[in-house]
Structure 1
Amino acid sequence: MQKHGILNRDIAEVLAKLGHTDQIVVADCGLPIPDGVKCIDLSLKLGTPSFTDVLDVVMAEMEVEHLLAADEMKAANPGLYRHFTETYQPPVTWVKHEQLKKDCANVKAVIRTGENTPFANVILQAGVIFG
């Protein structure tokens, strides 16, 4: 049994298979998931697990070079927006939520949380761990 890192075998597998520029999503419980995209559903009840709890763990284990998030988060979810700007180092591109949903069709997987606040979704683009 694994002692460290992400214990969820589905998430660990997806992260291990990522190459440079591959993308995954950490999503709230309402984001529509396109047909054919792997969904790792962690939701237990509204709010559990939270978006930030899951994102923080994934960010600690994944080399992320870029984030893509909905511009609407800034006004509709200022607490999460503040968390984004204060916590995460990779550059963030802010796009319209409709564009973010379209971009989800090209990701390797969506990790669905129990988050129930607006626009709590982010696309993470894999970087590389060498120069």
Structure 2
Amino acid sequence: LPDFASVLRVVLSELQVERHVLAEEMQKVVPPALVEIERLKGKLGKREWLSHEEFKVLSRSARAVVRTGECQPYSNIALVSGVTF
């Protein structure tokens, strides 16, 4: 399976992102995914932090979900996108 960074780069090549949402717990665990998110933050719009529980609630309203097989705790990102025109 492709890793988080590879999948995120491909998604960003096709999607105009307005903002992104991360679980607050990610700041404590600092998984490798966070390093890639920091590297790409200019393409991710404004950042929003939610608790892991709030993040799970938010994910219920997702229009699409991409699984990368990433096994590190809290290595999830919600990308919020609107119309690009």
TM over 0.5: yes
CA change 1:105–1:78 in 2 (3 A) is closer
Larger Rg: 1
The structure in which a higher percent of residues are helix is 2
- What displacement does 1:128 show? 2.7
Partner of 1:55: 8
AA matched with 1:108: R
AA matched with 1:111: V
Query: How far apart in 1 are the matches of 2:27 and 2:47?
Result: 12
- In the alignment, structure 1 segments of 5+ residues that lack a partner are 1-47
Question: Cα RMSD between the aligned structures?
Answer: 1.4
Q: Which of 85, 97, 102 is 2:57 aligned to? A: 102
AA matched with 1:81: L
Give aligned-pair identity as a percent. 35
Q: C-alpha offsets along residues 13-68 of structure 1, whole Å, 9 cap, x if unaligned?
A: xxxxxxxxxxxxxxxxxxxxxxxxxxxxxxxxxxx311111111101110110101
Give aligned pairs, total: 83
TM-score (norm 2): 0.85
Q: Which of 26, 29, 43 is 1:76 aligned to? A: 29
- In the alignment, structure 2 segments of 5+ residues that lack a partner are none
Q: Which of 68, 73, 77 is 1:118 aligned to? A: 73
